[in-house]
Amino acid sequence: MTMEVTAGRVALNARAAVLAYLAVSGIVLLLMMLLGLTMRLAQAQWIDVEPDFFYVVMTMHGAGMVGIAGLSGAAVMWHFVRRHVPVSTAVFLVNLVFFLIGAVLILGAGFIGGFGAGWTFLFPLPAHSGELWSANAAAAYLVGLMIIGVGFLLLHLDIARGILSVYGGLGAALGVKQAFGLAPEKGGPPPAVAASTMVLIVNILGIALGAAVLVVSLVNLYVPSFTFNALAAKNMIYFFGHVFINATIYMAVIAVYEILPVYTHRPWKANRAFYFAWVLSTAMVLTVYTHHLLMDFAMPAWALVAGQIISWLSGLPVLLVTAFGTLANVYRSGLRWNLAAALVFVGVAGWAIGVIPAIADGTIAVNSVMHNTQWVPGHFHTYLLLGMVAMMLGFTAYLTRPQPRYGLGWIGFWLYVGGGTLFVLAFLLAGSESVPRRYAVHVASWLPYDRVGSVGAALAVTGVLILIARFFAGVRTAAQAEDPA
Ligand code: HEM
Ligand SMILES: [Cu+2]
């Protein structure tokens, strides 16, 4: 695939490895979108899906989407950070192999074993299947996640090694001195390095706690007398889950910093505010996950109040410097729009817009009403489908064929953006009417939302299909090419 064997030595081609990551991500993205469409059509009562199978589909969709968000985010991060620090292509490929092994285990757990406890594997649910799946199926799911986690851990440690070898410390690589005005902005780390450093710090901690709770759950599957405090387990799972999915955006946003300047011919300004935002967000991403526990009344009140306040602030610093930076970079630059620039631009917009309903839901008074309604998939699909995924698609276009100004690529773009918007609006409107999330069967008065959502989803899937097909059509040439500069 990506290796040339020359005289017994294996030369690993870094660019081909990045394209392999994107190829896997693109295919899994499409398959998982089809699973999402299946759920939407089932809720709309346009197709028949047995409820127990709905939950298998929901679990696979959640795990698969979070997985490829991590995988494609890692591809963006690695591609750009290796311009500044030494990293190992072998470790990068090991992560891809671990991902594929984990994915097979997870898909087997779901589609063969019937595992449907949700991608968040909330303890002790995996062990309480009501006869719907076996302990072995649950174990396959948990082990699959663990293998994927180990791969990501290795990759992060390797990038950390590279960063430390150049910058000497994580603080220097994050731009802490620049953030507090103790060193001139000019000498600060490049945006890709600062962002990667933040991602390493939070993801290494997140994966460690995630692995610990996975082990606990695994033991509990086979030795039910071995139990664990369920509230502690929930804290650990949501710490891991919140950090991991947020980190995918912080990885993908590097594509914005690197790709827009290529077409606007203006460097990305890494100023004091930029470094300050990244330092602040590093701390906040680690502490904000308690917004997932606002309805867990056994939690100490101070933790939830802190979670609410930090939720309001957490995403904002990096989002604001990125949104303003994007507008400043594009405004009057004479940029002639191409697919790559348009997609990363949409990514910033989708991220910014999606954070607004998320912040609303992070407020205890609102959460009491909106908790577990479709408001929640409404906001996270906005910043994932129209934010993170847009940045990733922009990166694929940048590496393959950014240019054609008319034609099929733009049709794909508008189907994706228009359909995606309709799809997320249907969730948000249903959520504001208190339609619950994670319900396989919907009552008649909810069906209009489900049907509009289904149409939007079908359009979005078609659009992404076109964009991914363009990527595959251009991938061979891209493997030999240089980045557009
Ligand atoms: C056209 C694209 C997509 C469609 C049609 C779709 C559809 C759905 C549906 C119907 C649900 C369940 C909603 C409910 O609780 O009632 C869902 C949940 C979810 N989706 Fe998507 N989705 C899409 C794209 C994405 C993307 C791009 C991501 C992430 C990168 C994602 C991540 C998730 C997650 C994490 C859940 C939560 C699963 C759970 O509650 O355990 N989805 N999606
Ligand atoms: Cu969260």
pLDDT at 2: 42
User: Near ion ligand 2, which residues have CB within 5 Å?
Assistant: 242
SS (H, E, C) 277-329: HHHHHHHHHHHHHHHHHCCCCCCCHHHHHHHHHHHHHHCHHHHHHHHHHHHHH
| pLDDT at 7 > cutoff 60 | no
Q: Comparing 152 with 7, which gets the higher pLDDT? A: 152
Q: Which two tokens stand for residue 399?
A: 């590496």
Q: Which CATH number fits domain 8-480: 1.10.10.10, 1.20.210.10, 3.30.390.50, 3.40.50.2300?
A: 1.20.210.10
pLDDT tens digit string along 54-81? 999 999 999 999 999 999 999 999 999 9
**Among 65, 119, 455, residue to substitute to test ligand 1 (most atoms within 8 Å of Cβ):** 65
Task: Output phi, psi for 3, to 5 deg.
Answer: -115, 140
Question: Once rounded to an integer, what is the mean pLDDT over residues 145-168?
Answer: 98
Percent with pLDDT over 70 in the chain: 97
d(C-alpha 232, C-alpha 221), whole Å: 17
* Contacts of 8 by beta carbon, 8 Å cutoff, 6+ apart: none
Q: Which of 29, 58, 120, 391 to mutate to test the pocket of ligand 1 (most atoms within 8 A of CB)?
A: 58
317-320: which pairs have CB atoms within 8 A and are 24 or more residues apart?
Answer: 317/276, 317/277, 317/278, 317/280, 317/281, 317/284, 318/250, 318/253, 318/277, 318/278, 318/281, 319/351, 319/352, 319/355, 320/277
- pLDDT single digits (tens) 295-339: 898 999 998 888 888 888 877 889 999 999 999 999 999 998 999
Distance 241 CA to ligand 2 centre (A): 7
In the 8-state DSSP scheme, what is residue 190? P
Two tokens at 150? 């180990």
Shortest-distance atom of ligand 1 to CA 120: 41
**Ligand 1 center to 277 CA (angstroms):** 29
Residues with a CB atom less than 6 Å from ligand 1: 33, 36-37, 39-40, 58, 61-62, 65-66, 69, 118-119, 374, 377, 381, 384-385, 388-389, 423, 437-438, 457, 460-461
**Amino acid type, 391:** M
Which residue, judged by its Cα, is nearest atom 41 of ligand 1? 118
**Over the chain, what is the mean pLDDT?**
94
**pLDDT tens-digit readout, 114-130:** 999 999 999 999 999 99
CB 426 within 8 A of CB 452: yes
